[in-house]
Structures are given as structure tokens and as C-alpha cells.
Amino acid sequence: MACFWLNQDATNVEILSYIQQKEAVFYNIQVTVGEIFWVIPRRYSEFYALHQTLVMDHGLSKDILPDKQLLHIRSPMFIETRRKGLEKYLRHALTFLQQTMPKVFVNFLGFNKYDIFFLLQDMAVKMFSEADTILSRDKGHDFITLELFALTEFLQKAIPVPECSEHKCDIGVILDVCSQLQIVNVKAEGRSNTDTLYEKSSIDLCKLQFDLSPFKVAFFLIPQFLVHF
């Protein structure tokens, strides 16, 4: 998995291609953090909505996003020009926001799915709000492989989080819920029948080793191809 806070200088965003689907054009953003990369498609309208928030709430310059246009928006030349402009925009935004990484920007680029810290942040928020429900249903819970690996890595590595970051990842919430579970079901989410890579990323699920010591459970339900901890 990725770890942005340990690889800020080795993080890059680029738009390598685009896909036209009927009335929409999706720009394929590749995010690279160290040796890990993933691809996430976004439409121009999503860029525009993101930009409005970053300008209003986080001080990003107003004039750096390629303009909206109504004419020739489906022509290959226009799309290629916009692709280059959006790539330049993302790189500027990443440089400007890399010390705070606002959640809206994190989610837009998919860090909350592929990065250790940001995935755990979402996990902590969800567990805090759903703890009573989780612990009332036979004290069992489903985890995907990435969640267990992220938890293991976070506990074993000193991941620096700048004080100015708006993110508050209370790992204690996750550990408290985990310590009360009696059944843990590990699901191989995002894996196809012929590939062990997680969704559109370079993360190989078969290489993610995790530690189950935070759990004091009676049963582990783990797919055979994941039994390597």
C-alpha cells in the first residue's frame, strides 16, 4: 500500500489517457506514491467541483483550472489540450496542498482507498459512528485485506502526520472495537478471479501480510490464498 506521509517527495500525479463514453470524457489519473500506483477516472465536471471547494476553503488560486468550453469539447485536439491542462492543474494543487492534504482532495485522488493513513482515517470515523451496531451483531465484522494490512503497518511504522493536517486518525477507536470482536471475516475485496491486484492499482493482495494480534477473537474466516501471516 501507499504511504503519502513517508513519500511526499516521491509522489506524482499524471493523466496518461482518457476514455470517451457517449456524452462524457473520463480522464484517467495515475497517482504514484513511492513504488505504488493506482488509476482513477474523473470527468471535467468533477475537477470543476473540486476546484470550487479548494479555492473557497483552502486558498488555491482561482485561475489555474482549464476553462469550461461549450464548443469542440468532443474533438480529439480539444480533449488532448484539456488533458494536459488538467494534469498541470493537479500537479500544482498537489504541491500547494501537500502539507495539509484536505479530505476533498484526498478522496478525489483516491488516497482514501489505497493509502495506509487515509484509509485508516475513514475506517476510524466509520467505526466510531457504527461501533454499537458492529458489536451488537454477534460481535463479528468483515475486513478487507487492505484494512488489516494498513492497521499492521500503522502500528509498526512511525508515520509522521503534520500538526497542520486537518486529518485526525484516532487509531484507538479501531483498536478498541477490534479488541471486542469475536469473529473476524477477511474478504478479498477488489480481486478478480484471474488477478491478485487490487482494483486499478499495483497493490498485490497476495503480498500483503498482516498481524492479527490486535484481535482477541474466537474465529478467523480467511480465504485460503490470503493465509500467509
Domain boundaries, the chain: 4-111, 116-226
| pLDDT for residue 226 | 41
> Taking Cα atoms as reference points, which of 6, 29, 5, 9 lies closest to residue 17?
29
CB burial of 5-35 (b: ≥16 within 10 Å; e: otherwise) equals bbeeeebebebeebeeeeeebbbbbbbbbee
Which residues sit opposite 84 in a β-bridge? none
CB 30 within 8 A of CB 37: yes
- Report residue 72 CA to chain centroid gap: 33
CA atoms within 13 A on the CB side of 134: 23
Radius of gyration of the chain (CA): 20
| pLDDT for residue 181 | 84
Work out the angle between the directed axes of helices 44-58 and 76-97 (0-180°, nearest 10).
30
| pLDDT for residue 228 | 41
**CATH superfamily for domain 4-111:** Phox-like domain (3.30.1520.10)
Are β-strands 24-33 and 140-144 bridged in parallel, bridged antiparallel, or unpaired?
Answer: unpaired
> Taking Cα atoms as reference points, which of 194, 213, 219, 216 lies closest to residue 205?
194
Residue 211, classified by CB atoms within 10 Å of its CB into exposed (0-12), middle (13-18) or buried (19+), is middle
Query: Helices (DSSP H) in the chain: which residue ranges?
Result: 44-58, 76-97, 103-108, 111-114, 116-136, 145-156, 171-180
| pLDDT for residue 177 | 87
Gap between the Cα atoms of 115 and 64, Å rounded: 27
CB 190 within 8 A of CB 136: no
> Taking Cα atoms as reference points, which of 137, 142, 218 lies closest to residue 185?
142
Show pLDDT as tens, one digit a residue, over the chain (229 residues).
Answer: 999 999 999 999 999 999 998 888 999 999 999 999 999 999 999 999 999 999 999 999 999 999 887 666 678 889 999 999 999 999 999 999 999 999 999 999 999 999 999 999 999 988 888 888 888 866 678 888 899 999 999 988 888 776 655 555 678 888 888 888 888 888 766 655 557 889 999 999 888 888 888 776 555 555 543 444 3
